[in-house]
Every structure is written in C-alpha cells, then in structure tokens.
Amino acid sequence: MLKIRNIIILLGVISCVFLVACKQKSELKEVGAAAVDPAEDASDFVVITDVVQDAILEIRYYSTYNFIGCRVDGYTEPTALLTRQAADSLLAVSEELKAQGYRLKIYDAYRPQMAVDHFLRWGADYSDTLMKVYFYPDLKKDVLFDLGYIARRSGHSRGSTVDLTLFDMATEKELDMGGTFDWFGPESHPDFGGNPETGEYTGECNSPTGRTITAEQFEHRMILRRAMLRHGFKPYNEEWWHFTLENEPYPDTYFKFPVKQL
C-alpha cells in the first residue's frame, strides 16, 4: 500500500510540474507576441515586380527628383512594395493594359510612416522651396497639406495604394498625360478638362495660369483610370495617378518598415 501511495504522490508532483511549465511557456509566448509591432510586419507584402514582372519602376522618393529634392527617409532601395492583395489586382490591370499596348510605370507604392514624417518636417520649413519651380510653381508651400496634395497621414502607409502611369510600348515613352507626377495644382485633378465619371472631355480647365489639357491627354488618363477601377481600385480626387485598393486588407494599420527588397 505504501508503495502505491508513493507512486500516486510522485505522479501528482510530475503533473504539477508539467502544468506549471505549460503555463510559463504560454505566458512567454503571449509576451513575445505582444512585443511584435503589427506595423513592423511585412509578411503580407510583396515586391511589385515579383508579381507584375514587366512593371517599370521609377521610385521618385528614392531619388532626388521629387518635391523635396533629396532621398526621402525610409526608401532604402529603389523598389516598390504592396500588400499581396493589391499586387494581385494590379497584375490584372497590367494584363488588361498590356493587350492595349501599355506597360505600368510605378512612381510610388507602400510608403513607410517615417517618409510621411519627413514630409511633415519639410512642410514646416517654409524657407525650403528648392523644388518649387518643378512641382508647385503656382502655390505657396504653406497650403500644400490643406489642399490635399500631401497627407499628414498617408493611405500609402497602409500598403494598398499605388502611384503610376502608362508606358507606351509602341513609342517606348511614357504616355502623355498632360501633366507630371506630384504636380501640385488643379491640373492634376482627374476632372481637369473633363468628367472622369463619364470619360467625356469638356475642355474645362480651371488652371490659375491658363494651362490646358487636350482631348487626347485626357483620354490617356481615362485609359488608366478605367482599368484601375475595373480591377478593384478607387481613385483620388486630387491626383490622376493615385489609386487605392477598395477592399484594402489593412484599412487601419499604418506600417513603419522601410522600403527595400523583401
């Protein structure tokens, strides 16, 4: 009887030790999980050219040719990232437009929060107007945020927004859109010169300096817009080149990791 009782006691001790160990392991796992910032997790992102293999990249914020005039914080390599869902939808856009003789040219996609913070610091320095003549000649720098041309918190940081244009394979040049990327002014609005909802060119151009857009240039913008909308992207009212996946997978997460090869 004594031997059996000792065995029972021993089994009870082993069971207690096992339960304590399991609890400690579970607690450690929870602590480790809590230590991982979701905004630093790039596991659901892809390099655009791994999905849309013939996309052309001209990553302006990696270069010095942008509205700031220097490389923007967070752009450590000249590549472009998107969430997997957005990249898959962009591939569908590319396939449709390729049949019409066009390739996609990407200026920007995922933008880390540190880049947005760089924009904010630049915006607060009214004396720095190095690139004004190229990107905002008709506007004072202090209105760029209020007019929506630069965001204090950018949808790009959620990972499903892309800035792009079309490359004409026949001419081996960018398609003439009647305006350039990151031009801050009404000339960049999708409704400049026409109705983007119907695709009708009206010639109504509300440029403060009399700039206009031709029917052909307006139609080029519409070619891009129609393809993007057909494949699940929504447009932005201030910029003809800017589109966000309508059902974006991270609508409330603003990611922080840098732009680089994954």
Q: Residue 101 — pLDDT band, cuts 50, 70, 90?
A: very high
Q: What is the pTM of this model?
A: 0.86
Mean pLDDT is lowest, of 19-23, 43-47, 220-224, 253-257, for: 19-23
Q: Residue 6 — pLDDT band, cuts 50, 70, 90?
A: low
The yes-or-no answer on residue 40 being catalytic is no
Express each pLDDT in 136-165 by its tens digit. Answer: 999 999 999 998 889 889 999 999 999 999
In a domain, 171, yes or no: yes
Answer yes or no: are the C-beta atoms of 95 and 102 closer than 8 Å: no
Has residue 24 got a pLDDT over 50?
A: yes
- Is 100 in the same domain as 195? yes
- Is 178 in the same domain as 131? yes
The count of domains in the chain is 2
Mean pLDDT is lowest, of 34-48, 51-65, 119-133, 207-221, for: 34-48
SS3 letters across the chain? CHHHHHHHHHHHHHHHHHHHHHHHHHHHHHHHHHHCCHHHCCCCEEEHHHHCCCCEECCCCCCCCCCCCCCCCCECCCCCEEEHHHHHHHHHHHHHHHCCCEEEEEEECCCCHHHHHHHHHHHHCCCCCCCHHHHCCCCCHHHCCCCCCCCCCCHHHHCCEEEEEEEECCCCEECCCCCCCCCCCHHHCCCCCEECCCCEECCCCCCCCCCCCCHHHHHHHHHHHHHHHHCCEEEECCEEEEEEECCCCCCCCCCCCCECCC
- Is 52 in the same domain as 25? no
In a domain, 258, yes or no: no
Has residue 5 got a pLDDT over 90?
A: no
Q: Residue 124 — pLDDT band, cuts 50, 70, 90?
A: very high
- Is 100 in the same domain as 230? yes
Has residue 44 got a pLDDT over 50?
A: yes
Has residue 20 got a pLDDT over 90?
A: no
Catalytic residue (choose from 58, 187, 239, 248): 239
Q: Residue 36 — pLDDT band, cuts 50, 70, 90?
A: confident
> For position 28, what pLDDT does the model report?
43
In a domain, 84, yes or no: yes
Mean pLDDT of the chain: 91
- Is 15 in the same domain as 113? no
Q: Which domain holds residue 77?
A: 44-245
- Is 188 in the same domain as 58? yes
> For position 18, what pLDDT does the model report?
45
| CA atoms of 256 and 262, how far apart (whole Å) | 14
